[in-house]
Structure 1
Amino acid sequence: MDRFVSTYTMRLDAKGRVSIPAPFRTVLAKDGADGLYCHPSLAEPALDAGGNRLVGEIDALIESYPPYSEAREELAAALYGTSETLRIDPEGRVVLSDTLKAHAAITDQVAFVGLGHKFRIWEPERLKAHLAEATQRVRELRQAIGSRAENPRSTKA
């Protein structure tokens, strides 16, 4: 499989290391990643992480803006400027910097959530709250889509 899927909760050890879930390490290895590319999420109090596919996606996004444009410069600063490439040790562990941990409010445990082409690293309780909210929004969206399908002339969502 070449996608990050599922959710795993792991504990930081006494040295501040955390094991990347084995299925995620497999995806990173297939991607040819030498380390773990990680940056504070722009949308959530979590960390976005991945390998070369994630870096390529970020490159493409930034390059879609005109050179030297304000939007391009801001995106580059927000994504490249806050990113870290974490070394994965032989046991599949990484050390999250204090800056990354502070952004996600990580203390002793982390939750890894697969998002297909990348994964997100959360403080487990924050993830639980986020998933509850996301599930509710998806249910509401499903109801709105279902009601439009039942009555295609209706313009109400």
Structure 2
Amino acid sequence: MERFVSTYAMRLDSKGRMSIPAPYRALIARDGLEHVYCHPALERPALQAGGARLMTGIDALIERYPPYSEAREQLAGALYGAIEILKLDPEGRVMLSEGLKSHAHIGNEAVLVGLGDSFRIWEPGRFRAHLAEATAKLRALKAEIGSRGATGNTRADGA
């Protein structure tokens, strides 16, 4: 199964359209779609986007809760209700709504970042800050794992 991978810098044209990279379009087309699902990321100033696998993940998350439960209804409303269907034009471009651009603070440039089953759309400066923080956390985790491995201890509590 192929994944959304890599990072692409894109410019929005004068009409506010943005190209979706060809490898991403190929994955979406494989799902039989001519559009991209997109919603504001819940925990980041970015947009979550993708095809059928994004929707499958959302479905699975919502289905963890009992039908008619308050949690399920809130989650479904927050996710399904916020999704916008962005139609791909013949050149592989989509139009981001003002609401989506506002959430992610996107002006005339964006960065698309693969996350496997989906991708995120970021304002470039905010993505650089996010990437620096994530890289620092990853380095710290690597150092922690490496120090535990030197003693043969793989438990975080040292036992």
- The reply to whether TM is greater than 0.5 is yes
Give distance in 2, aligned partners of 1:38 and 1:136: 28
Give distance in 1, aligned partners of 2:31 and 2:117: 10
Give distance in 2, aligned partners of 1:89 and 1:45: 26
* 8 Å contact from structure 1 (residues 7, 114) kept in 2: yes
Q: Name the SS for the 2:68 alignment partner.
A: coil
Q: Please say if 1:110 is aligned against 2:110.
A: yes
1:8-157 alignment, distance < 5 Å? 8-151=8-151, 152=153, 155-156=157-158
Give distance in 2, aligned partners of 1:154 and 1:52: 37
Assess, with a 3 A threshold, how the Cα gap between structure 1 residues 53 and 154 changes in structure 2: closer, same or farther.
closer
Question: Alpha-carbon deviation of 1:154?
Answer: 7.4
Identity between Structure 1 and Structure 2 (%): 62
Q: Name the SS for the 1:94 alignment partner.
A: strand
Point out where structure 1 has 5 or more consecutive residues left out of the alignment.
Answer: none
Give distance in 2, aligned partners of 1:147 and 1:43: 31
Partner deviation per Cα, 1:6-30 (whole Å, 9 max, x = no partner): 0001100010000001111111111
Amino acid corresponding to residue 126 of structure 1 in structure 2: R
Q: Name the SS for the 1:81 alignment partner.
A: helix
Assess, with a 3 A threshold, how the Cα gap between structure 1 residues 44 and 154 changes in structure 2: closer, same or farther.
closer
Give distance in 1, aligned partners of 2:156 and 2:6: 37
* 8 Å contact from structure 1 (residues 28, 50) kept in 2: yes
RMSD of aligned alpha carbons? 1.4
Question: Alpha-carbon deviation of 1:34?
Answer: 2.6
Question: Alpha-carbon deviation of 1:69?
Answer: 1.2
* 8 Å contact from structure 1 (residues 2, 30) kept in 2: no
Q: Name the SS for the 2:82 alignment partner.
A: coil
Q: Name the SS for the 2:136 alignment partner.
A: helix
Give distance in 2, aligned partners of 1:89 and 1:155: 53
